[in-house]
């Protein structure tokens, strides 16, 4: 086994350059929402810094709040950015999809790391600071009531429930967090787990459905 130092979690955040902030302000003043989204799509797959800069500027122009030092991977998509608050030093991986909702709430805390190909139902989602979100992991925020049973389920009303991921949490690759779940500070969710109920702070859960395995070292209950 080889141990190497962490990178993202200890990376210092430098203020974004003034010209990039000015670009976002100009987009906000002079372009419609649809035009800004078209610009973001035009540069969505670019590998160079000018393309990454335009992605950041477009997201910043549309977001409720957008921090410094944010990195947006190629092919990452977000809807209803006007409901987003994105903290400093956030990483959003390639092909991640963050699905917001009109009048919804999506908060991504400082230094969070959202892995490639993740799916976040961000209709009412809070992700705390220094959260590690494994590639392909999913957060769900709504479900159909299924009532009445005389019509297709997809035609029944949606129940939107807040999904709350506490600070310092680590979410394993390809895990699924169901609507309304709260995961406490510093908890670990194992790869491929399906989390159906709240997880206590500094605990480790895994499995389908996810079950408590043990406390993290130094946080054992006495």
CA–CA separation, 111 vs 162, rounded Å? 21
Q: How does DSSP classify residue 214? A: E
Active site residue 43: no
Residues 105 and 87 sit within 8 Å (Cβ to Cβ): no
Point out the catalytic residue in the list 8, 43, 80, 144: 144
DSSP three-state, residue 20: helix
To the nearest 10°, report the CA torsion of 179, 185, 186, 192. Answer: 0
User: Residues of 156-194 as b/e, b for ≥16 C-beta within 10 angstroms?
Assistant: eeeebbebbbbbbbbbbbbbbbbbbbbbbebbbbbebbe
Residues 187 and 201 sit within 8 Å (Cβ to Cβ): yes
Measured distance between the N- and C-terminal CA atoms of the chain, rounded to whole angstroms: 32
Please list the active-site residues.
Answer: 144
């Amino acid at each position: 086994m080889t141990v190497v130092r962490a990178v993202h979690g200890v990376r210092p955040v430098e203020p974004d350059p003034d010209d990039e902030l000015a670009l976002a302000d100009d987009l906000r003043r002079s372009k419609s929402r649809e035009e800004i989204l078209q610009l973001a799509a035009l540069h969505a797959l670019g590998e160079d810094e000018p393309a990454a800069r335009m992605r950041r500027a477009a997201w910043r122009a549309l977001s409720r709040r957008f921090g410094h030092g944010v990195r947006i991977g190629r092919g990452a998509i977000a809807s209803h950015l006007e409901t987003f608050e994105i903290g400093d030093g956030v990483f959003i991986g390639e092909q991640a999809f963050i699905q917001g909702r009109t009048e919804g709430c999506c908060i991504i805390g400082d230094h969070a790391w959202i892995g490639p190909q993740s799916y976040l139902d961000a209709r009412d989602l809070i992700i705390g600071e220094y959260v590690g979100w494994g590639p392909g992991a999913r957060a769900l925020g709504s479900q159909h009531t299924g009532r009445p049973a005389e019509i297709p389920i997809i035609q029944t009303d949606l129940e939107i429930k807040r999904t709350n991921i506490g600070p310092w949490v680590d979410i394993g690759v390809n895990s699924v967090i169901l609507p309304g779940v709260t995961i406490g500070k510093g908890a670990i969710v194992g790869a491929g787990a399906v989390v159906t109920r709240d997880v206590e702070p500094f605990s480790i859960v895994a499995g389908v459905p996810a079950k408590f395995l043990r406390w993290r070292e130094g946080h054992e209950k006495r």
